[in-house]
Structure 1
Amino acid sequence: MDHVVYLDAKEKELDKFKSGQKSMIIRGAAGRKLPHGRVHPGEVLWFVENSGDGLVRCCATVKKVFSSEKLTEEESQKLISDYQAMLCLTPNQIKRWGGKRYLVLIEVENLQEITPFAVDRSSYGNMDDWLPVDNIERIKNNLSDSCW
């Protein structure tokens, strides 16, 4: 399974992955929302910055996944604190994700920069920041590089 993942351009998440400062993605919500239970080790994540150009710029392999059960606000904050070295979150991001009832932590490896390409989101009605796409080939526009 391939996933298109939008990263926070304002907080320079992609740059942090490239430099090695960051090796983990966080997602959270009040309920079990994507990618909770839908991402697994060995799958490929295709990274897009939410800066408006919509271009996939890097890909990485999922190394480990932790999908939480229902958390208290304190448990949520502690989980973020415990993994902050890998998450490399800014204070704004800690505020955004802290206190969520359900958290998903995804450790990635083998990050590769690729020739940027656009994806066709027309079959995805929601404007979510995580799209499970089965196979990136189905939605790519002129992919000249491959992650593998």
Structure 2
Amino acid sequence: MKKQWKLLEKIVLGKKTIESRWYKRRCEAWGKVRSGDTVFFKNSGEPITVRARVQKVIEFSDLTFSGMKKILKKYGGHDGIGSDDLNYFYHWVKGKKYCVLVFLQNPRRVQPFHINKKGFGSARAWLTMCNINAIRI
């Protein structure tokens, strides 16, 4: 996550209750995130510091720009997107065809730890695994 967006703090404070993933094609989070899963969060280049439980997941496919705007208007506030930021995000999601909304509950800080993303790709924003300890350093 981009540190300047301060999304981790919003998650911990309960101001960001949805994590969204927008893709041009079906990617890592699509079809793999389930209710009851635990998700971990970190800022880019930093250790993991926050975890939350997945309450529910909604997936959207074959999105049009109109459909994306509806999703952002309906869920954007819960995704930590302020109404002043909507125009930026309209531009950012343009051309995306898939969206995964991950509804978060019980967020909390964790003792910071690093992960080894070797084999996943250094720029990968979402990793799926059965046990976080498999990549914990």
TM-score (norm 1): 0.82
Number of the residue aligned with 2:25: 31
1:124 equivalent to 2:133? Answer no
Number of the residue aligned with 2:50: 58
User: Residues of 1 paired with 2:15 and 2:90: CA distance?
Assistant: 16
List alignment gaps of at least 5 residues for structure 2. Answer: none
Q: CA deviation at 1:95?
A: 3.1
Corresponding residue SS for 2:114: strand
Number of the residue aligned with 2:70: 78
Corresponding residue SS for 1:47: strand
1:68 equivalent to 2:60? Answer yes
Q: CA deviation at 1:60?
A: 0.6
1:109 equivalent to 2:102? Answer no
> Please, which moves more after superposition, 123-132 or 65-74?
123-132
Q: Which has the higher strand share?
A: 1
Corresponding residue SS for 1:140: coil
Which deviations, in whole Å up to 9, do the C-alpha atoms of 1:94-147 show, x marking residues without a partner?
532355211111101011111101111113235210011221111112xxxxxx
List alignment gaps of at least 5 residues for structure 1. Answer: 1-6, 142-148
User: Residues of 2 paired with 1:47 and 1:40: CA distance?
Assistant: 16
Compared with structure 1, are the counterparts of its residues 72 and 94 closer, same or farther at alpha carbon in structure 2 (3 Å cutoff)?
Answer: closer
| Aligned 8 A contact 1:28 1:104 in 2 | yes
Name the Cα RMSD after superposition: 1.6
Number of the residue aligned with 2:4: 10
Q: Which has the higher helix share?
A: 2
Number of the residue aligned with 1:46: 40
For residue 95 of structure 1, what is the amino acid of its counterpart?
Answer: H
